[in-house]
Amino acid sequence: MAITADNSDKPGPRPDRRRLSERFRRENPTYLRTFVSVSIARAGSHLAKLLPEAWLYAVADRLGDINYALIPGYRRNVLANLQHVHRGSGLPEPTKADVRRVFRVSARDWADLLVVPGKPVRTFDREVEMDAASKARLDQALAGGKGCVLMTAHLGAFDFIGHYLHAMGYTLLIMTGRTTSRLVFDGVTYLRQSNGLPLVEANASGVRKALQAVHHGHCAVLVNDRDFFNNGIDVPFFGKRTTLPPGAVRIARDTGAPIVPLYGERVPGGHKITIHEPFFVEKTSNPQKDLLLGLEQVVASLEKAIARIPDQWVMFQAVWPSEPPAASD
């Protein structure tokens, strides 16, 4: 049964995300807050490791159902996002079950992240599948010695996939944006950086480190399916205009490295990685045109990946604003 546009599921006004992200980025770290945050993350990790996977996922599913019921704002945003994806892809209208599955997938993603610290390489190798064609695309992109820009989306267990690639010997630098309070961010960062996986914030310093990583032949990893800081470029996405971040395209243009679109997917018994055909961003005397052409290829890849498994797109913020976005350089 398709979801009807009742009052409880209508997308509400979008908050000023630039103001929210700036407020979070202005928060300075404190020893006590970081200690509390990391201690909670460690305790959660130890507890999660005591549970068999079936029990852990059962608990995650129930927590996902609780979040679905108790957080109407996220429920409205997920519905709005899925409606854009389904309508732009010619799919039937999303159902309440589709929206609920997004909450369950997200909860399972958190469960997977909790058990990452100290996870043996052989376990990663057993739980994640990357087909030969996908691996060949990544290896070929890195063979030129210029590094690459791994462009991805919030599909499947995207954090877990990064840890798998790190365990398989790929040198990554993960770029992330701080869009939550320090209390939450510090604990999540502890989990994401476990096992030695490097992570930098998406600020001027982080961009410099990403450029250096690519110049040294490594992989800079950026998530490209939402303009979290409201400073992106206006593009059509699933047939409706919004803004998307140009960071991956800018780094690829400046370094000459290819963009390698990489996506995770939850499959029975584990996870799967799919890598689309890499592409380059031309560097001409017209930077704005170069960015737009590069983003066209980014959008095409994102649309293909998300439309195939929309109920695994764990995006709880509204991607499309209620009013047309202002274009930005």
- The pTM for the full model equals 0.87
Cα(129)–Cα(145) distance, rounded to whole angstroms? 25
Contacts of 129 (CB under 8 A, 6+ apart): 267, 270, 271, 272, 273
The pLDDT value given to residue 179: 66
Q: Are 206 and 212 in contact (CB under 8 A)?
A: no
Q: From residue 183, give the alpha-carbon distance in Å to each of 33, 34, 36, 179.
A: 6, 7, 8, 12
Cα(133)–Cα(129) distance, rounded to whole angstroms? 12
pLDDT truncated to tens, each residue of the chain (329 aa)?
444 444 444 444 444 444 444 444 455 657 788 889 999 999 999 999 999 999 999 999 999 999 999 999 999 999 999 999 999 999 999 999 999 999 999 999 999 999 999 999 999 989 999 999 999 999 999 998 889 999 999 999 999 999 999 999 999 999 987 767 777 888 889 999 999 999 998 888 999 999 999 999 999 999 999 998 888 999 999 999 999 999 999 999 999 999 999 999 999 999 999 999 999 999 999 999 999 999 999 999 999 999 999 999 999 999 998 644 444 44
The pLDDT value given to residue 67: 97
Q: What is the DSSP letter of 9?
A: G
Cα(72)–Cα(89) distance, rounded to whole angstroms? 25
Q: Are 216 and 209 in contact (CB under 8 A)?
A: no
Strand, coil or helix: 260: strand
Cα(103)–Cα(78) distance, rounded to whole angstroms? 9
Helices (H), the chain: 17-26, 31-50, 53-70, 72-89, 96-114, 121-127, 132-143, 158-167, 182-193, 204-215, 247-255, 287-308
The pLDDT value given to residue 49: 96
- Encoded amino acid at 235, one letter: V
Q: Are 102 and 61 in contact (CB under 8 A)?
A: no
Cα(265)–Cα(24) distance, rounded to whole angstroms? 30
The pLDDT value given to residue 228: 86
Nearest to 159 by CA among 196, 218, 110: 110
Q: Are 221 and 173 in contact (CB under 8 A)?
A: yes
Cα(88)–Cα(238) distance, rounded to whole angstroms? 5
**Crossing angle (nearest 10°) for helices 158-167 and 182-193:** 30
Q: Which residue has the tokens 């679905």?
A: 68
Torsion of CA 45, 46, 47, 53, to 10 degrees: 70
